[in-house]
């Protein structure tokens, strides 16, 4: 593939056409977009040239369980000299510095053959939330969030889907516009054929063939495009079905873009990567999809990922969430963090679901947020706060992110809780260490505070525990215990805190039983 900044005849015209098409989608309302916060299962079909508007609502994102892992894997080994720590220290990969990507063994590598990791976000269905596809926001994703990839999710069969509602030319232009925005932001982009309710990609193979023939032709001069040819095969779909579908669609892409990385979904909502490991495709530059939702999919599926990658299978987590598999329900921060730790260790790329303000846990924006760019921490959902914390982008102050998250998790090393003092300082309480000794459990807590109001000459905060505690040590503060409540007050050196200033390097060690925990504050 040619470099992203290589201008071929007609490309400038495509940029203009794509941008105009996107503006028409968002501003005029061609039946794809819905009002922010509305149910995306009810798009406005007024004025469309379709005889009957479908009435099928958007289905929930239901996935199967992750039982029955198979240890079979492909033969290409992970390089013996791989150093995950060294890899994580490398600068963020981008098209301008890393060039066109390709696959070597189980690794996604750059033009020079060095391993790269892509980390970013996915749109929700482009037909329902096209407004987030804009240049200002994509620039923001790279600059502020720390993302280096964005996924454009084009549903195949739902309302507004490519194969359903005869809006194909407009969806094509929206995808092209999104790619141009990602290119200008110096990000990689995954063009996703989002199979879901059609279950078997063979069902709408004709539409997929048409779509990929058009977009791969128009994007052949880009070095930053990855094609995901089927999102989540499910139901009775077998790996043999997926291979038959891939045998038809991949040559269509290769005819226009011989070297593009292509990602192939796996059965059971892209969880059965062991099937692909046992019988991989013969083509080069192929990766295989694993999807997970942290509150549902846990240690057994993580072990399946490890087995596959260490066995040589190139895996790309093109979609994940930190909630339940429905896209809603509770968040499991511990499982989410364990997933990220494993993916970073294995150098597996990952993309978080989803850029929307839909009223569901997986949406990264609060339902009340109507913005399409210029997001602050106040605009982000709990999932959104977790993501910006995980990506660690330069646009968000790490201490402010910690304060905003206020996870209120149990006493595990690295967990965080929020405490509010009686004065003007907002505190973050973190578990820095934990150990056992002489039948008791010891916790070392560290505190950091930000003053969002008027200057103060002194401060104190009461921290309730779920049982009586014993103070073992403290630093840069005064402490007093009354039963199960610990009061932490300023030392002589740090009581004066100006408006907008912070307090740090404050901490204490307490002990109790193994069930000791801070009460949610």
What are the residue numbers of the active site?
232, 319
Residue 519 neighbours by CB under 8 Å, 6+ apart: 464, 465, 466
Helix (H, G, I), strand (E, B) or coil at 196: coil
Q: Work out the widest C-alpha separation in the chain, in whole angstroms.
A: 77
DSSP assignments along 256-294, one per residue: H-TT--EEE--HHHHT-HHHHHHS--SSSSEEEEEEEET
Do 405 and 385 form a contact (C-beta atoms < 8 A)? yes
Nearest to 140 by CA among 333, 319, 355, 400: 355
Do 449 and 469 form a contact (C-beta atoms < 8 A)? no
φ, ψ of residue 283 in degrees (nearest 5): -70, 160
- Angle of the 168-184 helix axis to the 11-23 helix axis, nearest 10: 110
* CA gap 261, 255 in Å, rounded: 13
* CA gap 241, 202 in Å, rounded: 7
DSSP assignments along 23-64, one per residue: HIIIIII-SS---TTS-TTS---TT-S-SS---PPPPP----
- HSE value, Cβ hemisphere, 13 Å, CA-based, for 368: 4
Summary count for the chain: helices (H), strands (E):
13, 18
């Amino acid at each position: 593939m040619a470099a992203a900044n290589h201008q071929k005849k007609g490309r400038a015209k495509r940029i203009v056409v794509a941008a105009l098409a996107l503006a028409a989608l968002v501003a005029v309302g061609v039946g794809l977009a819905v009002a922010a916060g509305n149910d995306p299962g009810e798009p406005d079909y007024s004025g469309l040239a379709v005889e009957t508007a479908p009435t099928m609502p958007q289905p929930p994102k239901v996935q199967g369980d992750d039982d029955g892992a198979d240890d079979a894997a492909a033969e290409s080994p992970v390089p013996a000299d791989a150093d995950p720590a060294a890899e994580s220290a490398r600068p963020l990969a981008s098209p301008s510095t890393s060039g066109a990507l390709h696959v070597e063994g189980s690794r996604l590598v750059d033009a020079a053959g060095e391993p790269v990791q892509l980390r970013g976000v996915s749109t929700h269905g482009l037909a329902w939330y096209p407004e987030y596809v804009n240049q200002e926001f994509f620039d923001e994703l790279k600059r502020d969030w720390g993302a280096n990839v964005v996924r454009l999710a084009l549903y195949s069969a739902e309302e507004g889907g490519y194969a359903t509602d005869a809006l194909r030319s407009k969806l094509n232009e929206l995808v092209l516009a999104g790619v141009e925005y990602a290119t200008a932001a110096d990000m990689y982009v995954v063009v996703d054929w989002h199979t879901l309710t059609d279950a078997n990609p063979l069902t709408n193979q004709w539409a997929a063939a048409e779509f990929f023939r058009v977009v791969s032709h128009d994007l052949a001069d880009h070095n930053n495009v990855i094609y995901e040819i089927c999102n989540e095969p499910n139901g009775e779909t077998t790996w043999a079905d997926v291979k038959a579908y891939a045998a038809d669609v991949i040559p269509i892409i290769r005819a226009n873009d011989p070297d593009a990385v292509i990602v192939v979904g796996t059965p059971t909502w892209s969880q059965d990567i062991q099937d692909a490991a046992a019988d991989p495709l013969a083509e080069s530059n192929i990766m295989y999809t694993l999807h997970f939702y942290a509150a549902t999919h846990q240690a057994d599926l993580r072990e399946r990922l490890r087995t596959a990658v260490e066995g040589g299978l190139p895996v790309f987590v093109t979609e994940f969430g930190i909630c339940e598999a429905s896209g809603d329900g509770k968040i499991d921060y511990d499982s989410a963090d364990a997933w990220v730790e494993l993916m970073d260790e294995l150098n597996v790329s990952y993309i978080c679901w989803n850029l929307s303000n839909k009223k569901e846990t997986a949406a990264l924006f609060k339902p009340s947020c109507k913005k399409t760019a210029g997001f602050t921490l106040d605009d982000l959902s709990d999932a959104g706060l977790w993501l910006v914390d995980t990506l660690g982008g330069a646009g968000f102050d790490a201490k402010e992110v910690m304060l905003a998250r206020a996870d209120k998790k149990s006493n595990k090393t690295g967990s965080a809780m929020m405490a509010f003092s009686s004065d003007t300082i907002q505190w973050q309480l973190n578990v820095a260490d934990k150990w056992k000794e002489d039948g008791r459990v010891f916790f070392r807590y560290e505190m950091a505070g930000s003053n969002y109001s008027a200057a103060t000459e002194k401060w104190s905060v009461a921290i309730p525990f779920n049982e009586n505690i014993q103070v073992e040590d403290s630093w840069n503060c005064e402490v007093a215990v009354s039963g199960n409540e610990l009061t932490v007050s300023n030392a002589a050196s740090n009581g004066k805190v100006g408006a907008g200033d912070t307090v740090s390097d404050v901490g204490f060690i307490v002990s109790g039983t193994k069930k000791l925990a801070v009460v949610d504050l």
